[in-house]
Amino acid sequence: MVKANPTIYLLIEGESAKFAASLKEAFTLLLKQVCDGKNPRIVMGDGKVTCIDLFLNTKQYNSPNSQLLVDLDTTSEYRDNDLAKNGLTSRRERVHYMIQEMESWFLSQPEIINEYYKTTKADEFKNKNIESISEPDKVIHNIAQKSNHKTRVGYHKVRDAAALLLKLDAQKLMHSFPDFKNLVNNINNA
């Protein structure tokens, strides 16, 4: 008798229900690059607090295979503080941070920002410690505003994020961000 694969839930901090489907699809396609055929069921939380509450207090997501992916909004040195503040310490191996924010992932691969906004302004982030850049969403917003792309007036945290997620190289992301690598390993080992 073949044992059924367990359901893997991935709860992700989100911004808006209006664009949740496009973000879910983009995250799904990003993870498919590296997740050995295991496709987690993605649940978008409406903000960090709501997402953490779902992770901690919903029976359906209270399993060893459930994973949480949220912004840290600061440098990695504050990981333990955030875990403690949000009651996540006992589940630390299943909590994964986008340090500082998801937009740090985009800055780590500046070529995708350049391609998307038809600019070369993101080149200045090559070989920089991306995790130390605070408010990377504002950095990308500034790049977008200064770009040659006439239809872009700035960076939209959900619509543009979904488009940029589709351009990311997941292998490079695993190399640059240990939390993303740990998330992928947890999914593949479930």
Cα distance between residue 176 and residue 172, in whole Å: 6
Work out the average pLDDT over 40-58: 91
Looking at the structure, tell me whether residues 144 and 53 fall in a common domain: no
String of DSSP letters for 85-142: HTT-GGGGGGEEEESS-HHHHHHHSHHHHHHHHT-SGGGGGTTS-GGG-S-HHHHHHH
Domain holding 123, by residue range, is 104-161
Whether 166 is in a domain gets the answer: no
pLDDT tens digit sequence for 127-185: 899 999 999 999 999 999 888 766 667 888 878 999 999 999 999 999 999 999 999 99
Work out the average pLDDT over 64-76: 93
Other C-beta atoms within 10 Å of 128: how many?
12
Whether 167 is in a domain gets the answer: no
Residue labelled with tokens 């992916």: 69
Looking at the structure, tell me whether residues 18 and 83 fall in a common domain: yes
